[in-house]
Amino acid sequence: GVGVVEAVGEAARARFAKEDLAFSSQVGGLKSVAKVDAKSAVKLPGRFPEVTGAFLAEACAAYRLLASTTAGDVVIHSGGESAVGQCLAQLAALRGVSLVSLVSRSTPSPDDAVELLKNIGATVAAPADYVFDASFRKVMADLGPPSLVLLDASNVDLAAVASVLDASTRGFSAAKAALENAHPADRRDAKLVTTLLETIAHPAAKRVLHDARPGDATLPSFDAFDVRDWLAAADDAQLAETVANVADAAAADHLRVWVEAYTTDTVPRALDLQSAGLYKHAYRQPVWLAKPLDTY
């Protein structure tokens, strides 16, 4: 979350001063006061729009994921409806990169997400199952081979999909048994990954799982990236460059994230649906709650 520095410990006074605007991955944005380790905090430029702090980690993730791309490159991203996906669409457009953004099947209103992604910068936006359509291959042939394939690990049961993919390399019987025993969603995700890699992506294309945490299963030929780990390990120069570029894009109104929240009339239903957790999907304009959640 983002907040204004109220006090600074002696060891951190070379980096922070009272009234600085800072971001920390240790705490969310719902707390009014929090004590954080200075090592987890990043000083933000004065031009940084404070509201952007709500999605700073996702914006930094998108910026780092695109760091190796140049104008004219083609990138495929599965999980386009997410905050990272929205940031990717906008930052890719700013870099002159063609982004093919695929919306997950689990998205409650995929047509809304597709429309949003088209409007904010994606070159192509479509439901994920579109990759199985012959017309998708025609679109990709027109764009050219992608140099980067990104998969949102938070939308996939990596262990289950990896198991299906592994079985497919061990002969027909093993593959058939794995497919029969797998959950339908995992079969579909395994087919999606296979289709992207075997029929769409160039063999030299880089493949990255983002939002993959240490200890998570991985997929063959994919690297793993998690922005929280990157924020903790990045040197000052990398942090400064990333945050400055995100700040510039946000200050120029080129970087936003759309989320769906609930009004006072619908929040009880949302809480009921998710066992006291707000059910949300990240592609509609936010609606601020009129009173604290604990009053419902």
235-250 confidence digits (pLDDT tens): 878 888 888 888 888 8
Q: Residue range 198-211: average pLDDT? A: 80
Is pLDDT of 263 > 70? no
Q: Which residue has the higher pLDDT, 23 or 246?
A: 246
Q: Residue range 75-92: average pLDDT? A: 94
Share of the chain above pLDDT 70, in %: 78
| Candidate from 98-102, 151-155, 165-169, 182-186 with smallest mean pLDDT | 165-169
Q: At what angle do helices 110-120 and 83-95 cross, to 10 degrees?
A: 30
Is pLDDT of 164 > 90? no
Query: 199, 137 in Cβ contact below 8 A?
Result: yes
Structure confidence at residue 194 as a pLDDT band (50, 70, 90): confident
Q: What is the pLDDT of residue 178?
A: 72
Would strands 148-152 and 98-103 be described as parallel, antiparallel, or unpaired?
Answer: unpaired
Domains assigned to the chain: 2-57+234-251 (no CATH), 61-229 (3.40.50.720), 259-296 (no CATH)
Q: At what angle do helices 172-181 and 158-167 cross, to 10 degrees?
A: 150
CB atoms within 10 A of CB 270: 18
Q: Residue range 153-167: average pLDDT? A: 76
Q: What is the pLDDT of residue 50?
A: 64
